[in-house]
Structure 1
Amino acid sequence: MRYERFAGERSNTMFQRILVPLDGSEGAERAIPVAARIARTSGASIVFIRVVPPPAWVGAFGVGVHGTVAVQPKVEATEKDLADATTYLEAITTAYAGDLVGLNTEIDVATGVASPTIFSSARDEYVDLIVMCSHGETGLKRWVLGSVAQQAVRHSPVPVLVLNEHGMVSSAPEATHPLRALVALDGSALAETALEPAAQLIAALSGSAEGEVHLLRVVDLPSAYGKMKSQAYISDSMQEEARQEAEQYVKAVTDRLHEGPFAAFKLNITSSVVVSTDVAGTIIKQAEQAKSAERSTRFDMIALATHGHGGLRRLVMGSVTEHILGATRLPLLIVRPREVETAGDESGSTSQVEGTEVEIQTWAGIL
């Protein structure tokens, strides 16, 4: 199986059409300055979308989406909601005129369930990036309403930049501030599909300054080596061999990034390898508490690809991407490549360890 970078054809020169979902809240609007900054550098247009849920009726009476009870559907109410949504989006373009000056903007009002409607619009509008701010709701509200951000992990046809309403970055930084993105890799071609969109974003948001893309390879030994996947059966030689293999991998990726189209972004490429049983936690810790001899600042963004699997596999193995989405306060770039079946390419790889062939399972999208 091989993986294409994006679900559709797109330019190699950065993003061209950016979709910003808005729900009427101030939190969601925090995505606007960031989207405007990306659009200005990329020469992209911005599409603001507001999704109006349809009235839901059960039997002769029924319960509406806001908990109201009515004898029969009122089409007029839906039409009013659509008109209000249009008025709201028009007001947004005025309220954020300073951020949007000189940019081509469009508005889109649609009726439906939020997540699939937004993703359908992304396809119809030939969007190649979604920028949104997640409210980070938990408990019953998330269960009832769902989460567009969580659904993006599984279903978005294009890369999604998710900002946290209460996170570390709520607006675009100064143009002279070089940004740093941590791209999580697992050794698979799928995970590498996050590299190009991450580079595009960092280049766009860093302005004239030199941005940085850091390649992080987390080696999860218990999921690959040893009897019963227990840490007790992992020898020092196993750990060292796995680390060396991972270091060779990130070096090879770094060398490739210094050549070809990626080099045009003029970014500083760094890398590191960490052995850990907690992949998601390690990625978050490395991103939010990054310190080294050269710097003591955190990263500005995490980027990673996801399989978007569901069902039993998700239930049993969990999801690195969704774990990070729910725990980090940093912006998270989620890339869900389209899977294209070919012979002889799987998401895992094999390695010889102490004379025994074992399969190294990739975790991007365990997902």
Structure 2
Amino acid sequence: MFKRILVPLDGSPRAERALPLAKRIARATRGSIVLVYVVDPVSDLWAVEQAPLVEMRLREAEMYLNSLLSPAPTGEEAEITEPPIPAETLLLRGSAAASILNAASETQADGIVMCSHGQNAASHWRIGGVAAKVVRHAKVPVLMLKEEGGVPAGPHPDATEPLRVLVPLDGSAPARTALTSAASLLADLAPQTPAQLHLLHVIPANVQLLENEGRRRELVQKAGEYLQSMAKKLKESLVEPSLSPKNFMVTWSVILDNDVANAIVRVAEQGDTQDGLGSMPRCDGIAMATHGLSGIRRWAMGSVTERVLHGTRLPLLITRPAWVEEHAEEEETEEET
């Protein structure tokens, strides 16, 4: 999936947690990585007359990026035995989120791997905001890691367990765009070992309030049939013909919950068995689509993905449907009026 991977860095160990995973994917796809560092004078409260300090920060950032591309010390055998990965650095000055998005476009990256928090604890609000903006507006899939969560840099450490990714589906075409990205990521991270896609449908709690128990069972059954059909298409390579899902297990489950985003996080992190169909062990990551809407309309649609992003400790692969770009200008016009 990712042949050219953009990795935004800010000099912190937390941001660098994205590097092993980006390298793993690049090796699997025979791709390359682009390390980008953005110096943001306005955000860092540097005044115009402090231009020399900005220039010094740029030089320090350049040295930092170059150090990451230097050969590993002799004692680090694991790094020495791995083949080199084509890599380049990009040093930018300006708004962090806008610069990252522009860099992805200019370098023709087909994926972004980054950690949601960086620098220090006092600035988490700002870095987290950068991550949210990148996720909301990126035209390529974004694999977002959390500083307090795990990093699936390869097959599951337990050889008997598959590397497992949860894909929530609500029956819409935008939600299904996450399937191809999720399947491709699993193929890259666990090409010769067990891997599993688990499809999840959450029925909102208002359905539970229906007095007609038969109607409730009917809705659950229909949701199960939908997920079954999607699982069959994945296995038959009908969702993405270029993939070979023979190496994958595809499972599914349906649950009922009054909070869709919270249910997705809970099931992914803890596993779940509820009144519904199927059961779900814990996962190593989540893959979702974002609708890319803004303002009030985002609360109705894209807010679920954003709430999962802020609520989970697991890596989250976020794909923005292509049709969003076609309607972006129209949405902005509607909001202005």
Distance in 1, Cα, partners of 2:2 & 2:127: 30
Structure 1 segment 85-234 matched on structure 2, within 5 A: 85-94=61-70, 98=79, 101-135=83-117, 141=123, 143-144=125-126, 147-167=129-149, 169-170=150-151, 172-174=153-155, 177=159, 178-220=162-204, 222=206, 232-234=209-211
Residue in 1 that maps onto 2:333: none
* SS at 2:5 equivalent: strand
Q: Provide closer, same or farther for how the CA distance between residues 125 and 41 of structure 1 changes in structure 2, counting only shifts above 3 A.
A: same
* Correspondence 1:34 to 2:21: yes
Distance in 1, Cα, partners of 2:220 & 2:72: 49
Residue in 1 that maps onto 2:332: none
Question: Which of 243, 249, 257 is matched with 2:220 structurally?
Answer: 243
Q: Provide closer, same or farther for how the CA distance between residues 44 and 249 of structure 1 changes in structure 2, counting only shifts above 3 A.
A: same
Structure with greater contact order relative to length (CA < 8 Å, sep ≥ 6):
1
Q: Provide closer, same or farther for how the CA distance between residues 308 and 140 of structure 1 changes in structure 2, counting only shifts above 3 A.
A: farther
Residue in 2 that maps onto 1:324: 308
Residue in 2 that maps onto 1:364: none
Letter in 2 for 1:272: S
* Correspondence 1:48 to 2:32: no
Distance in 2, Cα, partners of 1:318 & 1:139: 27
User: Which has the higher mean CA deviation after the structures are superposed, 78-87 or 295-304?
Assistant: 295-304
Q: Provide closer, same or farther for how the CA distance between residues 91 and 282 of structure 1 changes in structure 2, counting only shifts above 3 A.
A: same
Residue in 1 that maps onto 2:255: 274
Letter in 2 for 1:106: E
* Correspondence 1:25 to 2:1: no
Distance in 2, Cα, partners of 1:110 & 1:159: 21
Letter in 1 for 2:248: L
Larger radius of gyration: 1
- After superposition, the C-alpha distances for 1:134-177 in whole angstroms (9 at most, x for unaligned) are 2289998455555222113321111111111111x136245775
- After superposition, the C-alpha distances for 1:41-73 in whole angstroms (9 at most, x for unaligned) are 1111011100111x34xxxxxxxx4445x5x53
Question: Which of 271, 278, 294 is matched with 1:290 structurally?
Answer: 271
* Correspondence 1:84 to 2:68: no
* Correspondence 1:305 to 2:286: no
Letter in 2 for 1:108: L
Q: Are the equivalent residues in 1 in contact too, given 2:11–2:119 (CA < 8 A)?
A: no
Q: Provide closer, same or farther for how the CA distance between residues 142 and 341 of structure 1 changes in structure 2, counting only shifts above 3 A.
A: closer
Residue in 2 that maps onto 1:363: none
Letter in 2 for 1:116: A
* SS at 2:84 equivalent: coil
Q: Provide closer, same or farther for how the CA distance between residues 150 and 139 of structure 1 changes in structure 2, counting only shifts above 3 A.
A: farther
Residue in 2 that maps onto 1:358: none
Letter in 1 for 2:176: E
Q: Are the equivalent residues in 1 in contact too, given 2:10–2:118 (CA < 8 A)?
A: no
* SS at 1:103 equivalent: coil
Distance in 2, Cα, partners of 1:107 & 1:289: 38
- After superposition, the C-alpha distances for 1:64-123 in whole angstroms (9 at most, x for unaligned) are x4445x5x5344333322222111101112276828742111111111111111011111
Letter in 2 for 1:186: D
Q: Are the equivalent residues in 2 in contact too, given 1:136–1:326 (CA < 8 A)?
A: no
Q: Provide closer, same or farther for how the CA distance between residues 295 and 93 of structure 1 changes in structure 2, counting only shifts above 3 A.
A: farther
Letter in 2 for 1:85: A
Q: Provide closer, same or farther for how the CA distance between residues 137 and 151 of structure 1 changes in structure 2, counting only shifts above 3 A.
A: farther
Letter in 2 for 1:257: L
Distance in 2, Cα, partners of 1:141 & 1:330: 21
Q: Which runs of 5+ in 2 are unaligned?
A: 74-78, 327-337
- After superposition, the C-alpha distances for 1:276-324 in whole angstroms (9 at most, x for unaligned) are 22111111111111267x9985211101101121112335778111111
* SS at 1:172 equivalent: coil
TM-score normalised by length of structure 2: 0.82
Letter in 2 for 1:320: V
TM-score normalised by length of structure 1: 0.76
Q: Are the equivalent residues in 1 in contact too, given 2:141–2:318 (CA < 8 A)?
A: yes
Q: Provide closer, same or farther for how the CA distance between residues 32 and 311 of structure 1 changes in structure 2, counting only shifts above 3 A.
A: same
Report the RMSD for the aligned CA atoms in angstroms.
2.9
Residue in 2 that maps onto 1:73: 49
Q: Are the equivalent residues in 2 in contact too, given 1:287–1:299 (CA < 8 A)?
A: yes
Letter in 2 for 1:73: E
Distance in 2, Cα, partners of 1:295 & 1:249: 16
